[in-house]
Structure 1
Amino acid sequence: MLTRAFALSGLIFAASTASAQTTEPCGREVEVRAGDTLSSIASRCAVTEGLILRANPRIDGSADLRVGQAVSLTGPMDELKSMATSAGQGLSQAAENVGSQVKSSVQGFLSDNPQLQSNIRDLGTRLGLSEGQQPAEVSLDPASPAPGSTVTISATGLPEDQPVIIGGGSPGAAFAQLDEARTTPEGTLQAAVKLPAEISGDRYLISVRGEDGSWKAEAPAFPVTR
């Protein structure tokens, strides 16, 4: 009888352990699935959308999620973001003060210091930043391609000579990588990409993004024909 009691208690313990494992939250990170949104991940992992955003500064919304990406759930980064915000505000205020003392504007200060202006321009060139005169634009040919077909992607106004990721997915949900490319020294891009044969959802959106997720440009979403 004692042996049977021990065996029964062991089964009960194993069952309760298995149950606890199945109901356990995602842990320190979770892998993004096709069609995921911040809301679906938050629900699946028993966390808030705000925590996901705070723990992943490169993610501004569901459209920044990448299928297969590991999303951190390790907790808030409020202090770090607050420090960065304060530093940015401090630099902005310092620039305004210097401008008002010299010529009531930052541009006036830079005009009086051409070497500094040149150094800033050179730094921007090395970082691959455009001068901001042309907004980024992405177009498709054809404008509404069918699933499984090849579409030509053309883009202008992108960071110059930078590796990029071409992604696709439903608007407002996680995207999947379709291809990799590199922008030209003029900040343009042209690439032929084959779409997945199976596309879920009624609309599909193609985007061009920096490898580090710091920027993106999107083509207009198009209806999925079946």
Structure 2
Amino acid sequence: IRPALDVPRVRLLAPRAFGVGQRSARGPFWRAAAVGFLSFAVFGYFLSLAPGYFAASLGISSLPAVGMLAGLALAASAAVQLAGRGAPSRHRTAGSSPSAMKRAAWPVRAGLGLLGVGTLGAGLAASAGNGPVLVAGICAAGLGQGIAFRTVFDRLVDSVAPERHAQAVSAVYVVTYLGSAVPVIGLGALAGVVGLSAASAVFTAACAAAAGALAVIAGRGKTPPVRDGGEA
């Protein structure tokens, strides 16, 4: 006996594989992933071990003040990204000439420079007990992260065909969220051996050096045009 109506077979939903799918988009993907990993490592530090360390260095006992120190970098990052919303992306219309490529690369390099200088400055200010410089360093790191991450993220999206956007974005955020966890776990392990002050100095210096290295290489390469069919 057959049913009066044909019912289509139900297919189980399964997550799609991570990746960008296009060879030409792998450069933008790895740049976005590297910037995301580093910047969220810095954010993970500011949100985990740093608040208590900063409070002890500055003699702060107010919990709301400690919370404000923890959230400054994120607030600065959100503010600069919201301020740049709706502005034309330079890299989308810059072209492929060497001079145009340099103009398109400067937001990434400037953002990473701010991130590195701010992170290192915050670490040095905390060790010296200098509150104003500490706040300025945290804000600079947040502003730099917002500029750099938004730029490389936009470049990735522009380089991937629309049907690949979800896969590419998901893959970037997997790497990014690993950055907010793995380095901080390592920092905690190091702090258990050498103390929080020394571990923080090593961590902030390493993040600043990594930001400087990425500033040299992350702005290179052009965004390939997106073609129909998912291949560039």
Band the TM-score falls in, shorter-chain normalisation = under 0.3
Computing the radius of gyration over CA atoms, which structure comes out larger, 1 or 2? 1
Relative to its length, the structure with more helix (as a share) is: 2
Return the TM-score normalized by structure 2. 0.23
Compare relative contact order (CA 8 Å, sep 6+) and give the higher one, 1 or 2.
2
Relative to its length, the structure with more strand (as a share) is: 1
